[in-house]
């Protein structure tokens, strides 16, 4: 796969602002484990190899168990995820692939049972951020692993 353009070089100011937004989301107070799962699941759904590779490595560096990473794609069938994580994954999926008539009430109510209004708002921004990154990296075919050294992901030892 050959990268089409380097969007970071082409739009450095926009990249910096979007990166600052994403960094702010990381500091929102939602557990890092949930933020990692959100990024992994959205990247799986969007077919973003660059982001999936990056976030799996980040999750390992954050101490995530290997089997849970494998089970992220099958979280509904897996017994490895807590109710709060399941709610976050359901919210991620519904916002990543919006249904024709919007977010169903049952999914909203389920997520509200696990997250405060502030947390749900922050979680929504987290989903928005990863979906934005997915779209840029899929559009321009950013190669998985190409930023490992820059982001310290080579320390994950998953090569």
| pLDDT value, residue 5 | 93
Gyration radius (Cα) of the chain, Å: 16
| pLDDT value, residue 108 | 98
Q: What does the H/E/C string look like for 92-130? A: HHHHHCCCCCCCCHHHHHHHHCCCCHHHHHHHHHHHHHH
H or E stretch covering 134: helix 117-139
The DSSP symbol for 143 reads P
pLDDT in tens, 78-101: 999 999 999 999 999 999 999 999
Query: CB of 69 within 8 A of CB of 60?
Result: yes
pLDDT at 62 over 80: yes
CA 114 to chain centre: 19
Give the predicted TM-score (pTM) of the model: 0.94
The residue with greater pLDDT, 51 or 143, is 51
Query: Thinking of the domain 29-143, which architecture would CATH place it in?
Result: Up-down Bundle (1.20)
pLDDT in tens, 8-35: 999 999 999 999 999 999 999 999 999 9
Give the C-alpha separation, 55 to 49, whole Å: 10
């Amino acid at each position: 796969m050959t990268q089409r353009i380097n969007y970071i070089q082409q739009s450095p100011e926009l990249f910096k602002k979007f990166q600052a937004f994403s960094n702010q989301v990381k500091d929102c107070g939602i557990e890092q484990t949930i933020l990692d799962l959100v990024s992994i699941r959205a990247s799986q759904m969007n077919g973003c190899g660059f982001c999936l590779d990056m976030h799996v490595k980040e999750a390992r560096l954050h101490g995530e168990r290997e089997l849970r990473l494998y089970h992220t794609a099958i979280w509904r069938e897996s017994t490895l995820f807590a109710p709060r994580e399941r709610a976050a994954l359901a919210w991620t999926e519904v916002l990543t692939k919006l249904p024709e008539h919007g977010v169903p009430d049952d999914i909203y109510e389920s997520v509200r049972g696990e997250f405060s209004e502030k947390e749900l708002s922050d979680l929504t921004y987290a989903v928005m951020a990863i979906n934005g990154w997915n779209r840029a990296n899929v559009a321009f075919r950013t190669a998985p692993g190409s930023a490992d050294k820059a982001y310290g992901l080579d320390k994950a030892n998953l090569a």
